[in-house]
Amino acid sequence: MATVSEHGLKRVVWQRIKETIIEDCKKSEIWKILILDHFTTKLLSSCCKMSDLMQEGITIVEDLYKSREPVLEMKAIYFMTPTAKCVDAFIGDFKLKPKYKAAYVYFTDYCSDELFNKMKLYCGKYIRVCKELNISFLPQESQVFTCDNPGAFRSIYSPHCSQDKVNTLETLAAQIVTLCATLDENPGVRYKKETMLENTTLDNAKQLAALVDYKLTKHYDMDDNGKKKGKTQAQLLIIERGFDPVTPILHELTYQAMAYDLVPIKNDTYKYKSKDGSEKEALLNEDDQLWARLRHMHIAEVSEQIPKLVKEISANKKQPDGKITISGLSQLMKKMPHFRKQIAQKTVHLNLTEDCMNHFQKNVEKLCKAEQDLAVGSDVEGVKVKDPMRTLLPVLLHPHGTYDKIRAVLLYIFSLNGTTEENLNKLIQHVKIEEDREFILNWRELGVPIISLPSFFPMRRSSRRDRTQEETYSLSRWTPVIKDVMEDAVENKLETKEWPHQSECPAAWNGSGAVSARQKHKASSQDERRSGSRLIIFVIGGISYSEMRSAYQVTQSVKSCEVIIGSSHIVTPMELLDDIQALSKPTTTKETFTIVKE
């Protein structure tokens, strides 16, 4: 089984937590309680298990916001975000009557003087340690991070949230800086040039790049060693969701993207029924080696791979060959207890693959050809699509679900760079979303043209890399635009006009690993770095699973440059459409919290 130490970003984060929080714990023989808020619970869950904490002397993990019984003989570790809400909950544990012998306080990020002084005033005599870890991002996968903030999409793009937008960009910038600090990188910062649409300039990437660069400079000026850190062999690109509206709404046929689109997977947990009718659930993460191995494969390959892997096990026990079924696997498990764990893992993926294929055969297959033709602009033979409406019409006439029809209509509009108001109204009537036209119209808030305007200077579409020689499946011809960006960045082919520099990268950085030995900084012990450099990409407004896959594919093909991708959150097509529709709705009430008594 995979352990935390094997998973890139997750390994680095766990190592950092061990070097600070855990090392401080070891100085005392007393077993300790660990108290977490909602964010730090997710953070720790993403990079370690309860057994890892037990090994380090932590016996109990508690929720900061829940009512807890006092344990006066134990010391408590508080790992929390530096917010008024968390600090007030912490003070509540000590102000009137202390719950614990002492408190070791660790903040994910910079704690303001105001909050620090408030803690000191009420709980000063109980605080033994107070440190800032500089980790306010979530390591979702070995090369993927998020800021755990789906609400950022609305704050940045909704016309009702202009004040929230400034605060959200500030927060995202601070989180990106903690990612760079955790990786010991001080990257050169670039951003995708702002877009103009209907006399409106969308410059969120430019604003965020300026904030990140300012905060990076400030962070490294305050280095613990008293030294100013120069730029490292890394580049950070900041880009907005509207740069590629196609990728996040296409029906994808690679395993991970397809599963999260078609199957109800919540918090990375897949629930399914076994043959005996009992409810089962499985966590889809990198601790499941089979998932890590299969997730970026095309569903056709996955469907072939799993039965082969099962046959390898069954062959050891001279099981008869034949079609591998789920009921057959359960029989195998009874006969072969030694292989139970391996087979159970494969049963999960056999179930999930069957779920995906059932959806595919039911209606997705019919949608995919039209979607691919509209997205790519040509059919499987390479013949240009001259009349996109002829491609769209069969989808509209077929009894597909409303969301599927909306996705196809959007791809049609994107292929034309906007359509006429008259044509749009007809399409909206055809899909029967007269009351929900925001699913389509609100894409304008992302800088995506929906209504075409007469212009002397039509919008120039970005040229794509030629992939005609690459082998692809006929229903998976589209390549995410971000993969082009990654490859161009690595080959130093990004045009400065389209990708202005907020801060210069070192002259030697060309992404190919051919960097000056004199300039290249020494690898830190916490991160046994691959040789070469790092490309970090941050997408404002959510990333899709296909874009995450691109980071791994480019890293694999280049080898000397590691690509890390992140965003405020990860989106599925349905979630993105719901978020788009909600942009024009008035703002809801603000969050409050109460202590929950168990």
CATH number for position 147: 3.40.50.1910
- What are 234-254's pLDDT values in tens digits? 999 999 999 999 999 999 999
Q: Is the pLDDT of residue 5 over 50?
A: no
Beta carbons within 8 Å of 460's beta carbon, 6+ residues apart = none
Do residue 283 and residue 369 come from a single domain? Answer: yes
Do residue 163 and residue 262 come from a single domain? Answer: no
Contact between 594 and 166 under an 8 Å Cβ cutoff? The reply is no
Give the domain CATH number at 364. Answer: 3.90.830.10
Highest mean pLDDT among 319-328, 430-439, 500-509: 430-439
Which of 108, 135, 162 delimits the end of a domain? Answer: 135
Provide the 8-state DSSP code for 18. I
The pLDDT of residue 406 is: 96
**Domain-embedded: residue 160:** yes
From residue 302, give the alpha-carbon distance in Å to each of 40, 213, 305, 347: 35, 42, 5, 13
Q: Is the pLDDT of residue 320 over 90?
A: no
Beta carbons within 8 Å of 406's beta carbon, 6+ residues apart = 431, 433, 439, 440, 577
More confident residue, 190 or 287: 190
Which of 135, 168, 202 delimits the end of a domain? Answer: 135
Which of 103, 135, 167 delimits the end of a domain? Answer: 135
Do residue 120 and residue 66 come from a single domain? Answer: yes
**Domain-embedded: residue 106:** yes
The pLDDT of residue 244 is: 96
**Domain-embedded: residue 350:** yes
Q: With both helix axes pointing from N to C terminus, report the angle between 388-397 and 402-416 in degrees, rounded to the nearest 10.
A: 170
Coil, strand or helix: which one is 567? strand
- What are 12-41's pLDDT values in tens digits? 999 999 888 888 777 766 668 899 999 999
Do residue 52 and residue 131 come from a single domain? Answer: yes
Amino acid at 443: W
User: What is the DSSP code string of 378-430?
Assistant: B-TTS-B-S-HHHHHHHHHHTT--HHHHHHHHHHHHHHHTSB-HHHHHHHHHH
**Domain-embedded: residue 521:** no
- What are 450-504's pLDDT values in tens digits? 998 765 445 556 678 877 777 788 899 999 999 999 999 999 899 999 999 998 7
User: For the whole model, what pTM was predicted?
Assistant: 0.88
User: What phi, psi does 84 have (nearest 5°)?
Assistant: -60, -35
Percentage of the residues of the chain whose pLDDT score is greater than 90: 60
Do residue 260 and residue 227 come from a single domain? Answer: no
Do residue 209 and residue 338 come from a single domain? Answer: no
The pLDDT of residue 470 is: 75
Highest mean pLDDT among 3-7, 466-470, 496-500, 586-590: 496-500
Do residue 578 and residue 553 come from a single domain? Answer: yes
How many Cα atoms within 13 Å fall on the side-chain side of residue 204? 28
User: What is the DSSP code string of 231-279?
Assistant: --SEEEEEEEGGG-SSGGGS---BHHHHHHHHS--BTTEEEEE-TTS-E
**Domain-embedded: residue 129:** yes
How many Cα atoms within 13 Å fall on the side-chain side of residue 563? 29
Do residue 437 and residue 489 come from a single domain? Answer: no
**What's the average model confidence in pLDDT over 189-199?**
81
**Domain-embedded: residue 398:** yes
- Among left, alpha and beta (phi > 0; psi -120 to 50; other), residue 365 is alpha
Q: Is the pLDDT of residue 106 over 60?
A: yes
Beta carbons within 8 Å of 369's beta carbon, 6+ residues apart = 380, 474, 475
Which residues are 60's β-sheet partners?
33
Do residue 100 and residue 157 come from a single domain? Answer: no
Do residue 281 and residue 419 come from a single domain? Answer: yes
Which residues are 34's β-sheet partners?
61, 77
Q: Is the pLDDT of residue 324 over 70?
A: no
Do residue 182 and residue 129 come from a single domain? Answer: no
Residue 162: domain span: 140-244+480-507+531-582
Amino acid at 388: P
**Domain-embedded: residue 218:** yes
**What's the average model confidence in pLDDT over 553-572?**
94
**Domain-embedded: residue 474:** no
Give the domain CATH number at 83. Answer: 3.40.50.2060
Mean pLDDT of the chain: 85
Do residue 131 and residue 43 come from a single domain? Answer: yes
Number of folded domains that form the chain: 3
Pairing of strands 100-107, 127-132: parallel
The pLDDT of residue 220 is: 87
